[in-house]
Amino acid sequence: MNEIETALQAPGGWLPLAILAIMGLAMLAYVILDGYDLGVGTLLGAAGERDKDTMVASIGPFWDANETWLVLGVGILLVAFPPAHGLILGALYLPVALMLVGLTLRGVAFDFRTKGGADRKALWNRAFSAGSVLASLAQGYMLGQWVTGFRGDGWATLFSALIAVCLLGTHMLLGAGWLIMKTEGALQVAAVRWARVSLGLTAVGVVAISAATPLVGASIFERWFALPDVVLLAPLPLATLLLFFIVERSLRRLPTRLEQGNAYGDGVPFAGAVGIAMLAFYGLAYSLLPWLVVDRLTVWQAASSTESLWMIFVGACVVLPVIVGYTVFSHPVFAGKATALQY
């Protein structure tokens, strides 16, 4: 990592990295936060009619604030790394368009499922879950394309399709974990069942990305498997494995415990899923840094002028604590089990 160490000496070197860190934080927060409400939206398709209102109510106070992280992340990409923004969003044009269609359908369905009349409610519920599925699949496909450096060959497409399904699974795991915390009764038990299925999909996705990234470039392979590093990095995959084990065990025990009216540990699956997402994100960041587009564009090559970056940096120092603040604040305010839908 010599190039990174020398880069840290001057603002032209460390500023792009600092802003990349902020952008990374926004993307991680987006995957986790919108991940759970996209997951709840996806699971809406599998739920009974009576549970759907409770499920929507459980994400009601949070979902649109969660989406602001995506705006922040892509906004920083545009102003701080314009060439990378052009390259990435140009290569991902179609999945981005489909994601927007999905997010639009979801956003509209959120209100119209209650305001559009009882005869139309089933239709809007379908739009809600279809929009969630479409957005998740599109995001997973984009992740797969980005990790493989937009090569555009058949293998990369197949890999991206696999990641699309797996990220949908990860969102479902987050959503199911959320429902286990936020609901009671039959819905809670169903959520445990959904979480077990999606845990498998998440595992396939983590393994696939871990296996594929070292194969994308020799430099990434060396970074993971050169001798001192492979030992120092071992805690990362081991901790991930441990989290999978903990979540699996918790999901196995929860149904009997819930039957006895014992809600102990109903936050474990969600916390575990968040941990898995964070570790996967960290591993990916370690693999790909300093590339914004693998083997084509580094953070420094793509960075705007230092003056522009200073402005963005100062702006982010003001805005970021506010967004983090209301996100942290809103969750305890609406803590506890979801109550009946009112709006």
Partner 1 sequence: MPGDALPPGSSDAVRGAPASLFGLPDEAARETRLAIEVPKLASLVLTHELEGEVKGLDASAGKLPPVAPVFLSFRLMVGIGLLMLAVSWIGWWQLRPNSRRPEPSSLLTASLLEMVFFGLGGGVLAGWYTTEIGRQPWLVYGVLTTAQAAGPVPAPTIALTLAIYIAMYLALVVAYVATVFRLARKVTTEEPPRSATGSLPAPRRLGAASA
Residues that bind partner 1 (CB under 8 A): 86, 90, 93-94, 97, 101, 104-105, 108, 112, 115-117
Write down the H helix ranges in 60-184: 63-80, 82-91, 93-115, 121-147, 154-182
User: Shortest distance, CB of residue 66 to partner 1, whole angstroms?
Assistant: 22
Among candidate residues 204, 195, 312, the one with its CA nearest the CA of residue 255: 195
Single-letter code of the amino acid located at 329: F
In the complex with partner 1, which residue's Cβ is closer, 98 or 208? 98
In the complex with partner 1, which residue's Cβ is closer, 99 or 209? 99
User: Shortest distance, CB of residue 101 to partner 1, whole angstroms?
Assistant: 6
**SS3 for 293?**
strand
User: Shortest distance, CB of residue 342 to partner 1, whole angstroms?
Assistant: 17
In the complex with partner 1, which residue's Cβ is closer, 150 or 281? 150
Cα pseudo-dihedral 271, 274, 278, 281, rounded to 10? 160
In the complex with partner 1, which residue's Cβ is closer, 8 or 100? 100
Helix (H) or strand (E) holding 304: none
In the complex with partner 1, which residue's Cβ is closer, 118 or 231? 118
User: Shortest distance, CB of residue 112 to partner 1, whole angstroms?
Assistant: 6
Distance CA 109, CA 185 (A): 26
User: Shortest distance, CB of residue 300 to partner 1, whole angstroms?
Assistant: 23
Which two structure tokens, joined as six digits, stand for 165? 């399904």
Distance CA 194, CA 43 (A): 8
In the complex with partner 1, which residue's Cβ is closer, 115 or 252? 115
Q: Are 37 and 61 in contact (CB under 8 A)?
A: no
User: Shortest distance, CB of residue 150 to partner 1, whole angstroms?
Assistant: 11
Rg (CA), the chain: 21
- Find where tokens 């587009």 sit: 293
User: Shortest distance, CB of residue 111 to partner 1, whole angstroms?
Assistant: 9
In the complex with partner 1, which residue's Cβ is closer, 308 or 330? 308
Distance CA 238, CA 20 (A): 27
Distance CA 277, CA 283 (A): 10
**SS3 for 50?**
helix
